[in-house]
Structure 1
Amino acid sequence: MAINSNNKKLTVVIGASANPQRYSYLAVSRLTAHGHPVVAIGLKDEKIGDTPVIKEHPAVEAVDTITLYLNPQRQQAYYDYILQLHPKRIIFNPGTENPELEQLAIKNGIEPIEACTLVMLSTGQY
């Protein structure tokens, strides 16, 4: 199946881990397999396939999606960073739902979505 290059969505994965048992690992792997450029941010400098996982919070332009793999308490340290990236949407994967961040997103013109990135990719909804 050919993927339309116009549908590439720059995605920042927050809470990325090189542990193959983690959903964030699967998300980074599947996003790149679908041709989406990924910036993976985690607690350690490591790699998921060819994608580096970095500890820094780089300035990234034209972010389409932020997908979260951090519990709500750990997300608080990222609020300012997430909002300054001005993504079109934030995906709150199961276990990451956060009404406070969802309200901040709405106030900043960002669409909050409570969904699973992996399911969205597998069903063509990403």
Structure 2
Amino acid sequence: MIQNPSDDARREILQNAKTIAVVGCSNKPERTSYMIAEALQQAGYRVIPVNPTIAGETVLGEEVVGSLADIHEPVDIVNVFRRSEQVMPVAEDAVKIKPKVLWMQQGIVNEEAAQLAKQNGIEVVMDRCIKVDHAILVPR
């Protein structure tokens, strides 16, 4: 079973990251994925919303892309808002764009996807809320 990086390692990930792709980002402000993307943006990250259903729309001032493959700039963290059983295709896409970290939100666990990411040199965080970790680990 994959272990999450330590608090110190996650703090370092969050302090060094600049660009975060949010997979499953919603265009509805009341949805968790939107709120967390907004919080990340306010914390100073560049957020790239990824959602095939609303690709081409604008969310939080950023154009929504249909998939990770549509991102043509370096991504530090791929933050995943998909059901656990839907993470594998995201991990496969992530391997192609080589982010530093594949971060599955709280409640999302997929060992197979985590294994694939790890085998390809991508750090993995599972079942942790990136916004909560940021609030706790990164002093303002």
TM-score, normalization by structure 2: 0.75
Regions of 4+ moved over 4 Å: none
Q: Which residue of 1 aligns with 2:62?
A: 51
1:13 is aligned to 2:13:
no
Gaps of 5+ in 2: 1-14
1:28 and 1:48 in contact (8 A); partners too:
no
Match among 72, 85, 90 for residue 97 of structure 2: 85
CA distance in 2, matches of 1:97, 1:17: 20
Q: How many residues align?
A: 121
| Deviations 1:56-114, CA, capped at 9 Å, x for gaps | 43143321101000012322333331111111111111122111110001101111112
Give runs of aligned pairs for residues 1-126 of structure 1, distance below 5 A: 7-42=16-51, 43-45=53-55, 46-56=57-67, 57-114=69-126, 115-125=128-138
| Deviations 1:21-68, CA, capped at 9 Å, x for gaps | 221101211111112112110121333221222324314332110100
Gaps of 5+ in 1: 1-5
Specify which structure has the bigger relative contact order, considering alpha-carbon pairs within 8 angstroms and separated by 6 or more residues. 2
CA distance in 2, matches of 1:116, 1:8: 16
CA distance in 2, matches of 1:54, 1:28: 14
1:118 and 1:60, CA in 2 relative to 1: closer, same or farther beyond 3 A?
same
1:8 and 1:82, CA in 2 relative to 1: closer, same or farther beyond 3 A?
closer
Q: Which residue of 2 aligns with 1:3?
A: none
TM-score, normalization by structure 1: 0.82
| Deviations 1:9-29, CA, capped at 9 Å, x for gaps | 211111110112221101211
CA distance in 1, matches of 2:134, 2:100: 17
